Amino acid sequence: MSAASAPRKGRPWEVETVVAPASWASALVNGNWSGLQADADDEAACRAWVAEQAEEGWRVVDVKRDENGDAEDAWFSSSAGVYGSPYSGADLLNYVRERRAGA
């Protein structure tokens, strides 16, 4: 069972899908920032995005998965900067984020 489908207790949870750079997957989902250490600009952009999400009570819990439970494929966009990337062109991925309702 993925974190996104794990049962929750207490207040209801809001769950939604957001788009962000695929290069951030390990940091966003697993808290492992080692893959971003070689690219200071990408790491800084990811940390800023995570901080913005946290201010609104959101946290990423998984990548979006298909009906078989497999992670959806990333896709290239020449408008990646719109989704937080420090680069105009980059691979993007759908992520699942959650927060407590009313946060």
Is residue 81, in this structure, part of any structural domain at all? yes
Cα(85)–Cα(25) distance, integer angstroms: 13
The number of domains in the chain is 1
Give the max Cα distance, the chain: 41
Is residue 56, in this structure, part of any structural domain at all? yes
Identify the pLDDT of residue 1.
45
Domain that holds residue 54: 11-100
Identify the pLDDT of residue 5.
53
**Low-confidence residues of the chain, pLDDT below 70?**
1-10, 103
Give just the sign of the alpha carbon dihedral 18, 98, 37, 34: negative
